Amino acid sequence: MKSRILAVATFFFLVVGTTSCTENIERIHTSEPLSGVSFMLKTKELVCHSNIESVFLYFTLQMTNDSSDVVYLNIGNIQAKLNGEPSSATHYDSLASVIPVEQKLEQGSKSWELYLVYSANLRDKAIKQFEVINFGLRSI
């Protein structure tokens, strides 16, 4: 019985290992894209989804708005380059079916659990270069 369980577990790990990848890549990236607005992005995990030919970069975004200007955020407009490749989309981690819309960024701090979508052709599954190229912000 133990050998059968071991065989099934080994097969499972071989199948999962050849069809997807998961890398734990915790890093913190900070910026102040607008005066009085701080942006902290903590990368958590890079997951390959061979069935949909995509790579997801899961992260926590924390923004603090101390600006005297009215600031708007659209989560869907956040874009970042990973090892030179730009992301194609940004989604809420828990509500992927919800389409991000522009919303007023209230004063104070707020955080979101999100993921960026990259092509499965991403050459390197480690973060060697990471750059936010669109913060999804605008001010009035």
Is-contact 100 61, C-beta < 8 A? Answer: no
Domains, the chain, with CATH or none? 21-139 (2.60.40)
Answer whether residue 16 shows pLDDT above 90.
Answer: no
Q: Whole-number mean pLDDT of the chain?
A: 82
> Against a cut of 0.85, is the pTM above it?
no
Classify residue 18 by its DSSP letter: H
Tens-digit pLDDT profile for residues 33-66: 999 999 999 999 888 887 788 899 999 999 999 9
What pLDDT is attached to residue 133? 95
* Percent of the chain clearing pLDDT 70 (strictly above): 78
